[in-house]
């Protein structure tokens, strides 16, 4: 469905970022409408599965230490959970770890902010998903003044150094900002109130956070300006249309897995010898 | 597709077990052929998703501590990995943890055999998958004499007590023995040798293990006799046909999730008040 790589279409450039200039309901790189999405998503399943298995096989065989980390960030209702279900859900769960970062525990607060993140990193062969991440420490951390300004400033550099080191050691990082407008959020919060099966997702504090929308957008803009590096770029994923968001993250995953998946490991045994050994066991259990 | 519950059809009864009496290529409870499987599997996706989300919602809301543990055991090539991909893959990865138990590390060996298993248990709201499990300690542990006979004997009781305690605390346990015949295994090991993209799955030691087939079957029969309890029954899943195996495990999951999924949590806020608070934020970000 795409002619150019979505990786190129959604990657944010260097310089000043003005999120209000991004249309949350746009569908860059998708050559069709909502009706065409299921087929497009389905056509990604094969390549995703094949490349994920190569990644995994390389780790099992000890011939590759590549791994992939997907960072999902976005305002409440932007659909981090829905993206995990619908895009990440295309992968084999055996090679996937999903970590949802909540408010830090006392144990976590007693360490540097990156400590809990390091412990949740994917192993060789795995795809790790962060539903929220170390970026919370410069988002809610900044907006709610959970640390002093000098510490917040220090963190941007610490994050860039941390991510550079991850990339240098074989980890591909796909950072997705799920971009919605304040009206998208209003509509979705209303939908949660209207549907009793969604009440559990609603929290009265969501409205308080919403009132801080301009400050959150500014905090996101700062992140996108300071932490979109060559090693670990940010992708702005228009997320006003859920079907597009799900496809876009799956497509980003497919492109990156396609880039890093190694060749199938070569046999470290003599195939003909093993065939004969196996043939000799034909009667086992009879 | 089923008239009786698969839970009842596959649950093993009390008493002497003779695995050679089980046809690995049978398809109990499935009213159709291979051609009907994709549709049957697809029809499970909706209920699985709905019930898994209720389970998760209950945990988030603090109204339910239910959780589910699926134990997958079987001889090499029985398809534990394929089952995770195709059956577990129907679930939302956000609420799933998959743990593959390998040969124990030095750290793990320095503890009781259940220690590493306890650390991998699912939390409230989660579905945990064990690819191999504590049963290895009475399977390869027994066949390869990795512990002395008295310790092996002790473990059956320890496992039953452990599982009873898990069930008492709100965990549903679904123990699946993926049953294949020695001929099924021969065919699949040959297929691995024939296909270079499967060489990474082949290990010369697999043939050595295969030579011990009768002793492994006996060890499995002992497990099925001693550890199929009312609290945590064993299901013998005929796995000579991969399509049936995948459907059967998905169906078992669907039946159990249907049994334990709580009602949607009730709102712990006043919906009308929240609607008004939300309406008052309509202009935020404009």
Residues with Cβ within 8 Å of A247's Cβ and at least 6 positions away in sequence, in order, are A30, A37, A40, A41, A44, A87
Reported as a single tens digit per residue, the pLDDT across A210-246 is 999 999 999 999 999 999 999 999 999 999 999 999 9
Contacts of B197 in chain A (CB under 8 A): 264
Secondary structure element (H or E) that encloses residue A118, with its range: helix A115-118
**Taking CA atoms, what residue in B is nearest to A62?**
B200
**Taking CA atoms, what residue in B is nearest to A274?**
B204
pLDDT of residue A3: 61
Mean pLDDT calculated for residue range A260-266:
96
Cβ distance of A214 and B285 shorter than 8 Å:
yes
DSSP-assigned letters across all residues of B165-222:
HHHHTTEEEEEEEEE--HHHHHHHHHHHHH-GGGGGG--HHHHHHHHTHHHHHHHHHH
pLDDT of residue A284: 96
pLDDT of residue A138: 98
Reported as a single tens digit per residue, the pLDDT across A97-155 is 999 999 999 999 999 999 999 999 999 999 999 999 999 999 999 999 999 999 999 99
Which residue's structure tokens are 């603090």? B62
Cβ distance of A93 and B89 shorter than 8 Å:
yes
Angstroms from B59 CA to nearest CA on chain A:
10
Mean pLDDT calculated for residue range A51-74:
97
Contacts of A267 in chain B (CB under 8 A): 196, 199, 202
pLDDT of residue A227: 98
Cβ distance of B278 and A189 shorter than 8 Å:
yes
Of A81, A197, A281, which has the smallest distance from its Cβ to B94's Cβ? A81
Residues with Cβ within 8 Å of A144's Cβ and at least 6 positions away in sequence, in order, are none
DSSP B241: S
Q: What are the sequence ranges of the domains in chain B?
A: 6-279
Of A61, A217, A284, which has the smallest distance from its Cβ to B213's Cβ? A284
Residues with Cβ within 8 Å of A15's Cβ and at least 6 positions away in sequence, in order, are A225
Residues with Cβ within 8 Å of A18's Cβ and at least 6 positions away in sequence, in order, are A221
Reported as a single tens digit per residue, the pLDDT across A9-37 is 999 998 999 999 999 999 999 999 999 99
Which residue's structure tokens are 């159990």? B256
DSSP-assigned letters across all residues of B249-274:
HHHHHHHHHHHHPPPPPPPSS-HHHH
Q: What are the angstrom distances between the C-alpha of A233 and each of A7, A51, B76?
A: 10, 22, 42
Q: Which of A121, A130, A116, A118 is nearest to A74 (CA)?
A: A130
Cβ distance of A207 and B88 shorter than 8 Å:
no
Averaged confidence pLDDT in chain A:
96
Reported as a single tens digit per residue, the pLDDT across A187-199 is 999 999 999 999 9
Whether the predicted pLDDT of B2 surpasses 70? no
Cβ distance of B285 and A100 shorter than 8 Å:
no
pLDDT of residue A2: 47
pLDDT of residue B84: 97
Angstroms from B259 CA to nearest CA on chain A:
18
Cβ distance of B285 and A197 shorter than 8 Å:
no
Reported as a single tens digit per residue, the pLDDT across B95-153 is 999 999 999 999 999 999 999 999 999 999 999 999 999 999 999 999 999 999 999 99
Which residue's structure tokens are 């040969």? B103
Mean pLDDT calculated for residue range B251-261:
97
Phi-psi region of B29 (alpha: psi -120 to 50; beta: other; left: phi over 0): left
How many CA within 13 A on the CB side of residue B264? 12
pLDDT of residue B4: 83
**Taking CA atoms, what residue in B is nearest to A54?**
B197
- Pick from B20, B98, B127, B199 the residue to mutate for testing the A interface (most A CBs within 10 Å): B199
3-state secondary structure of A220: helix
- Pick from B195, B216, B278 the residue to mutate for testing the A interface (most A CBs within 10 Å): B278
Angstroms from B269 CA to nearest CA on chain A:
7
Whole-number Å distance between alpha carbons of B93 and B126: 10
Contacts of A61 in chain B (CB under 8 A): 200
Domain B6-279, CATH among 3.40.50.460, 1.10.1280.10, 3.40.50.300, 1.10.730.10: 3.40.50.300
Contacts of A284 in chain B (CB under 8 A): 182, 186, 210-211, 213-214
The percent of chain A in helix, strand and coil, each rounded to the nearest 5, is: 55, 10, 35
Of B93, B189, B217, which has the smallest distance from its Cβ to A96's Cβ? B93
Cβ distance of B285 and A92 shorter than 8 Å:
no
Strand B234-238 relative to strand B171-179, pairing: parallel
Contacts of B49 in chain A (CB under 8 A): 85
Q: Which CATH class is domain A6-262?
A: alpha beta
Whole-number Å distance between alpha carbons of A116 and A163: 14
Q: Which of A181, A229, A139 is nearest to A26 (CA)?
A: A181
Residues B89, A88 contacting (CB under 8 angstroms) = no
Whole-number Å distance between alpha carbons of B64 and B260: 10
Whole-number Å distance between alpha carbons of A170 and A252: 18
Whole-number Å distance between alpha carbons of B24 and B245: 10
pLDDT of residue A276: 98
Of A92, A100, A264, which has the smallest distance from its Cβ to B196's Cβ? A264
pLDDT of residue B22: 97
Mean pLDDT calculated for residue range B40-67:
96
pLDDT of residue A4: 83
Residues with Cβ within 8 Å of B35's Cβ and at least 6 positions away in sequence, in order, are none
Question: Number of A:B CB contacts under 8 A?
Answer: 138
B233 phi, psi to nearest 5 deg: -70, 165
Cβ distance of A264 and B207 shorter than 8 Å:
no
Q: Which of A37, A11, A56 is nearest to A174 (CA)?
A: A11
Angstroms from B262 CA to nearest CA on chain A:
12
Angstroms from A31 CA to nearest CA on chain B:
27
3-state secondary structure of B89: helix
3-state secondary structure of A1: coil
Reported as a single tens digit per residue, the pLDDT across A150-164 is 999 999 999 999 999
Mean pLDDT calculated for residue range A40-50:
96
For residue A161, count CB atoms less than 10 angstroms from its CB and return exposed for 0-12, middle for 13-18, buried for 19 or more: exposed
Q: Which of B204, B185, B196, B179 is nearest to B26 (CA)?
A: B179
Angstroms from B30 CA to nearest CA on chain A:
25
Q: What percent of chain B has pLDDT over 70?
A: 99
pLDDT of residue A217: 98
3-state secondary structure of A11: strand
Q: Which position has the higher pLDDT, B271 or B2?
A: B271
Angstroms from A179 CA to nearest CA on chain B:
14
């Amino acid at each position: 469905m795409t002619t150019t790589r979505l990786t190129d279409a959604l990657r944010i450039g260097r310089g000043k970022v003005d999120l209000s200039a991004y249309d949350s309901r746009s569908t860059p790189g998708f050559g069709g409408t909502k009706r065409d999405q299921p087929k497009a998503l389905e056509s990604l399943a094969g390549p995703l599965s094949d490349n994920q298995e190569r990644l995994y096989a390389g780790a099992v065989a000890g011939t590759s230490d590549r791994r992939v980390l997907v960072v999902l960030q976005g305002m409440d209702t932007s659909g981090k959970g829905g993206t995990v279900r619908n895009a990440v859900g295309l992968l084999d769960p055996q090679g996937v770890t999903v970590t949802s970062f909540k408010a830090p525990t006392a144990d976590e607060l007693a360490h540097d902010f990156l400590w809990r993140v390091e412990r949740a990193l994917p192993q060789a062969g795995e795809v790790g998903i962060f539903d929220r991440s170390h970026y919370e420490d410069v988002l809610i951390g900044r907006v709610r003044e959970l640390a002093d300004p000098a510490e917040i400033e220090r963190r941007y550099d610490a994050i860039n150094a941390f991510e550079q080191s991850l990339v240098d050691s074989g980890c591909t990082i796909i950072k997705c900002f799920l971009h919605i407008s304040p009206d998208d959020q209003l509509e979705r919060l209303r939908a949660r109130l209207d549907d009793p099966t969604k009440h559990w997702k609603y929290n009265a504090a969501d409205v308080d956070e919403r009132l801080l929308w301009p400050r959150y957008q500014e905090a996101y803009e700062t992140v996108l300006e300071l932490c979109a590096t060559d090693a670990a770029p940010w992708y702005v994923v228009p997320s006003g249309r859920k079907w597009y968001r799900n496809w876009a993250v799956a497509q980003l995953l497919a492109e990156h897995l396609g880039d890093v998946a190694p060749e199938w490991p070569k046999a470290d045994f003599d195939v003909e010898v093993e065939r004969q050994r196996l043939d000799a066991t034909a009667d086992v259990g009879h």
